[in-house]
A and B are shown apart, each in its own frame.
Chain A
Amino acid sequence: MSETTTVHIADAKHATTHHGEHGHHQQSFISKYIFSMDHKTIGKQFLITGIVWAVIGGLFSVVFRLQLGYPDTTFPILETFFGKWAKGGQIQPEFYYSLVTMHGTILVFFVLTAGLSGTFANILIPLQIGARDMAAPFLNMLSYWFFFMAGIVMVASIFVQTGPASGGWTMYPPLSALRQAGDGQKIGTDLWLISMALFIVSSLLGGLNYITTILNMRTKGMSMTRLPLTIWALFFTAVLGVLSFPVLLSGAILLLFDRNLGTSFYLSDIVINGEILPNEGGSAILYQHLFWFLGHPEVYIILLPAMGMVSEILSVNSRKPIFGYMAMLGSLFAITILAFLVWAHHMFVSGLNPFLGSVFVLLTLLIAVPSAIKVFNWLTTIWRGNIRFTPAALFAIGFVSLFISGGLTGIFLGNTTIDIHLHDTMFVVAHFHIVMGVASMFGMFAGVYHWFPKMYGRYLNHTLGYIHFWVTIVGAYLTFWPMHYQGLAGVPRRYLDKGGWVNFNQFGELDKFITAVSIIIFVTQFVFIINFFYSIYKGRKVRTANPWGANTLEWTTPINPGHGNWEGDIPEVHRWPYDYGKDGREFIPQTEPVGASESKH
């Protein structure tokens, strides 16, 4: 129990195998940049892979938005790129469903789970708690490469002849369990399931490391209540992932059995194309329970890291302590617990027992309490602050705005009675895109703009950052706000052409408008991407170790920290991370001992 492991800072990998022969050892390109065990490099790998996936997932949404906005127009260029999937320049129904499925899967899992918590948990946890690296750097490396393999399998599924999975990102059986049900239900769905299994392994390996590192590897003086809120948020995110992803895995395994080995876990009494299937006794609802037991915590897996980073960024940039640290912490905890107890609110219309439904309504509406506490605290943090409107601060404020607007519609959907009308309509699409999708994306952007100097030793260009912010936030509202009206009018989600329905075919012009805006936003993201890659090499150099005047430990490392983060000893922590504007001083780093005459907070 009491042994300490001694390793080389520059070459941790070989330390365990080559005790004794300590020559000067240059790291090869492969061990430094590809199979790296440095948490910072792994974080960057997650980020860049996430960006690539975001472009693919975003592009898919633009393609299906073209169909929604212009259902009768032909786009010959689509046939050039997608061939038979866009015969005659029109999106084919099967392809439309594949696009929607892939867009959801990619954005939810690959971008906002791996790309968001993978990136920032890796970069921030060791740096902000004062650790040399993760508890198990090798598992951490495996975590990235399992994610990478999941990506390869998912990409492969796009190129198979029958096309990628098209059962929706939730992959509900019986549709997803029957090959006869459509082209997307053939090999594409098997590849989807394999990819997800790999992804789950990746996120478990990551989560185990994050939890252990936070609980076990904090530097001296870093008590749990001195942790920055980013770390608390990432901690709860990891707990959610570690407890809920395995349940999705068990659901996916049963689905694989149903698909490939003829079991009937989810299948019963099905007639398809006139053929009566032998499956008996299965329950499709069982899958929904298993899926949403992950699916709902997944929402918070996406949202919590953004919340944590926003808390930190708002406090740093308004030069004020975070308002209500313990309340923030308590509300994160409450959200984590409640996240496990509300899954059936996705299933109100599945024939769920109405009594059970009302319990889930109550628990769902309870989430409004911690959410409101957080919103209140963010607003009071920036209230009368000395706000520096850096791009990171703007994106953080944008996050709060989106979280409020999207959160309020959650109260509508959390009521069974209203949900009967609104379920599976564009209202739901609007709700979760604003509160979970775009809001978390904003949190991610805020994080990238704020910690880019730590990652690459250079700044992102601020002017491009401002353009990126304003176009994106205006565009996000213009895209998703009108969808509320469509949803209230009863427009269902996932329909590729609403022209045939008299009761909701009056939105043609609105759909054109949404499509136009979404194309503008998509193009604007390249401003960010160009800024990102250009600044890695050519950005303005960071000259001081602590460019934002922040208190947390990552800014006590060298500007370009090596593997091991601190050159000398790990600094000791003496105070919480939010001493801004205290005793007439702008900020007091965590490493500074508490003075005798210092006022209490």
Chain B
Amino acid sequence: MIKKIEMVNNATTKKMHPHKFILWVAMGSLIMMFAGLTSAFIVKSSQTGWKPVTLPSVFWASTIVILLSSGTIFLALRSFKERNITGYRLLMIATLLLGAAFIGLQWVGFEKLWDQQITFKGSGAGQFLYVIFGFHALHVAGGILALLVLVTKTFVEEVKIYSSVPTEIAVTYWHFVDLLWIYLLIFFLVFGQR
């Protein structure tokens, strides 16, 4: 027989779940990366050859979409806690689709800019926009992948999982990329257009 051993010590159970803690540290790390990119932007913007960029209005649409998705995932977590599995699945899939729509809209925004002759050539706000928004979209894509795994698990797993930790982690991350987007949007509105 193999002995059962508590992986988390009893004395520590009042603390935050370690996996959640990992996520918070990881978010600190991601903030540093985007801080690095945006401070590079500020340093560059004071130098010669800098060209500002005007955000196409499609980025407002993507903002609305990602804000909506934060709402749906919030409700998804509530359904999970109420043991409403159908509602949970539906809301998670809705979030997932909204996330995909966000990335699609970002792509449309990129194409709009590209049509304005803002290509990779040069060294202005536009080139930073492709890098920074592109990198943000990659992180949204990572979130979509996580949601996909969670939704699939509700169909495949034979054993019901009552722990809300994985969902809570996904939700926190989703809100994080949402807030990150708001930061980037404001950043480009303030610093990108001058």
Chain A interfacial positions (CB closer than 8 Å to B): 1-12, 19-20, 22, 24-25, 130-133, 135-136, 139, 204, 207-209, 211-213, 215-220, 242-247, 249-251, 253-254, 257, 261-265, 267-268, 278-283, 286, 289-290, 293, 564, 570
Residue of A3, A10, A139, A251 with most chain B CB atoms under a 10 A cut-off = A3
Query: Can you identify 29 A-B contacts, CB atoms within 8 angstroms?
Result: A1-B14, A1-B16, A4-B6, A4-B10, A5-B6, A6-B6, A7-B5, A9-B3, A10-B2, A11-B2, A12-B7, A19-B159, A20-B159, A212-B25, A216-B16, A218-B9, A220-B9, A242-B25, A242-B29, A243-B29, A249-B36, A254-B37, A264-B121, A264-B123, A265-B44, A265-B128, A281-B48, A281-B50, A283-B47
Closest to B34 in A: A250
Closest to A242 in B: B29
Q: Is the CB of B43 within 8 A of A3?
A: no
Residues of A within 8 Å of B30, CB to CB, are: 246
Q: From DSSP, what is the main secondary structure of chain A's interface residues?
A: loop
Q: Chain A's nearest CB lies how many Å from the CB of B110?
A: 13
Q: Is the CB of A262 within 8 A of B40?
A: no
Q: How many B residues have CB within 8 A of the partner chain?
A: 52
What 1/0 flags go to B1-27 for Cβ under 8 Å of A?
111111111111111111101100110
Q: Chain A's nearest CB lies how many Å from the CB of B141?
A: 16
Q: Is the CB of B131 within 8 A of A254?
A: yes
Residues of A within 8 Å of B22, CB to CB, are: 135-136, 139, 208-209, 212
Residues of A within 8 Å of B14, CB to CB, are: 1-2
Q: Is the CB of B165 within 8 A of A3?
A: yes
Alpha-carbon gap, A261 to B130, bound state (A): 11
Q: Is the CB of A250 within 8 A of B3?
A: no
- 6 other A-B residue contacts (CB within 8 Å) besides A209-B22, A265-B44: A5-B8, A216-B21, A263-B120, A263-B121, A268-B49, A283-B43
Q: Report if A204-B26 is in contact (Cβ < 8 Å); known contacts: A135-B19, A262-B120, A286-B40.
A: yes
Q: Chain A's nearest CB lies how many Å from the CB of B10?
A: 7
Closest to A262 in B: B120
Q: Is the CB of A8 within 8 A of B2?
A: yes
Q: Which of B12, B49, B135 contacts A217 (CB 8 A)?
A: B12
Residues of A within 8 Å of B159, CB to CB, are: 19-20
Q: Is the CB of B12 within 8 A of A216?
A: yes
Q: Chain A's nearest CB lies how many Å from the CB of B96?
A: 23
Residues of A within 8 Å of B127, CB to CB, are: 257, 263-265
Q: Which of B28, B40, B128 contacts A242 (CB 8 A)?
A: B28
Q: Chain B's nearest CB lies how many Å from the CB of A236?
A: 14
Q: Chain A's nearest CB lies how many Å from the CB of B48?
A: 6
B179 contacts partner chain A, Cβ-Cβ < 8 Å: no
Q: Report if A216-B36 is in contact (Cβ < 8 Å); known contacts: A4-B10, A8-B4, A10-B2.
A: no
Q: Which of A2, A139, A220, A247 contacts B11 (CB 8 A)?
A: A220
Alpha-carbon gap, A403 to B28, bound state (A): 32
Closest to A3 in B: B163
Q: Is the CB of B18 within 8 A of A279?
A: no
Q: Chain B's nearest CB lies how many Å from the CB of A30?
A: 20
Residue of A20, A22, A286 with most chain B CB atoms under a 10 A cut-off = A286
Residues of B within 8 Å of A253, CB to CB, are: 37, 131, 135
Alpha-carbon gap, A22 to B4, bound state (A): 10
Residues of B within 8 Å of A5, CB to CB, are: 6-8
Alpha-carbon gap, A2 to B11, bound state (A): 11
Q: Is the CB of A135 within 8 A of B21?
A: yes
Q: Is the CB of B40 within 8 A of A250?
A: yes
Residues of A within 8 Å of B40, CB to CB, are: 250-251, 254, 265, 286, 289-290
Q: Report if A250-B44 is in contact (Cβ < 8 Å); known contacts: A3-B165, A7-B7, A281-B50.
A: no
Closest to A249 in B: B33
Alpha-carbon gap, A208 to B20, bound state (A): 11
Alpha-carbon gap, A220 to B48, bound state (A): 59
Closest to B46 in A: A283
B145 contacts partner chain A, Cβ-Cβ < 8 Å: no
B124 contacts partner chain A, Cβ-Cβ < 8 Å: yes
Residues of A within 8 Å of B32, CB to CB, are: 242-244, 246-247
Q: Chain A's nearest CB lies how many Å from the CB of B142?
A: 12
Closest to B43 in A: A286
Residues of B within 8 Å of A4, CB to CB, are: 6-8, 10, 13
B122 contacts partner chain A, Cβ-Cβ < 8 Å: yes
Q: Is the CB of A208 within 8 A of B135?
A: no
Closest to B32 in A: A246
Q: Is the CB of B17 within 8 A of A1?
A: yes
Residues of A within 8 Å of B6, CB to CB, are: 4-6
Alpha-carbon gap, A477 to B18, bound state (A): 45
Alpha-carbon gap, A1 to B21, bound state (A): 11
Alpha-carbon gap, A197 to B163, bound state (A): 34
Q: Is the CB of B12 within 8 A of A218?
A: yes
Q: Which of A217, A283, A570 contacts B44 (CB 8 A)?
A: A283
Residues of B within 8 Å of A136, CB to CB, are: 18-19, 22
Alpha-carbon gap, A130 to B5, bound state (A): 14
Residue of B10, B33, B124 with most chain A CB atoms under a 10 A cut-off = B33
Residues of B within 8 Å of A265, CB to CB, are: 40, 44, 123, 127-128
* Residues of chain B from 63 to 99 with CB closer than 8 A to chain A in the complex: none
Q: Is the CB of A293 within 8 A of B15?
A: no
Alpha-carbon gap, A11 to B15, bound state (A): 25
Q: Report if A217-B4 is in contact (Cβ < 8 Å); known contacts: A2-B13, A208-B26, A246-B36.
A: no
Q: Chain B's nearest CB lies how many Å from the CB of A567?
A: 8
Q: Chain A's nearest CB lies how many Å from the CB of B150?
A: 14
Closest to A279 in B: B123
Q: Is the CB of B21 within 8 A of A215?
A: yes
Q: Is the CB of A289 within 8 A of B43?
A: yes
Q: Which of B9, B10, B18, B165 contacts A212 (CB 8 A)?
A: B18
Residues of A within 8 Å of B48, CB to CB, are: 281
Q: Which of B28, B43, B123 contacts A281 (CB 8 A)?
A: B123
Q: Which 6 A-B pairs have the closest CB atoms?
A: A281-B49, A246-B33, A135-B18, A247-B36, A264-B123, A250-B36
Q: Is the CB of B8 within 8 A of A217?
A: yes
Q: Is the CB of B26 within 8 A of A264?
A: no
Alpha-carbon gap, A204 to B36, bound state (A): 16
Residues of A within 8 Å of B49, CB to CB, are: 264, 268, 280-282
What 1/0 flags go to B146-178 for Cβ under 8 Å of A?
000000000000010001010000000000000
Alpha-carbon gap, A139 to B48, bound state (A): 44
Q: Chain A's nearest CB lies how many Å from the CB of B109?
A: 18
Q: Is the CB of B7 within 8 A of A204?
A: no
Residues of B within 8 Å of A216, CB to CB, are: 12, 15-16, 18, 21
Q: Chain B's nearest CB lies how many Å from the CB of A544?
A: 25
Alpha-carbon gap, A268 to B30, bound state (A): 29
Q: Chain A's nearest CB lies how many Å from the CB of B3?
A: 6
Q: Is the CB of B47 within 8 A of A281?
A: yes
Residues of B within 8 Å of A11, CB to CB, are: 2
Closest to B119 in A: A262
Closest to A251 in B: B36
Residues of B within 8 Å of A131, CB to CB, are: 9
Q: Report if A246-B29 is in contact (Cβ < 8 Å); known contacts: A7-B5, A570-B9.
A: yes
Q: Which of A9, A219, A262 contacts B121 (CB 8 A)?
A: A262
Q: Chain B's nearest CB lies how many Å from the CB of A379?
A: 35
Closest to A250 in B: B36
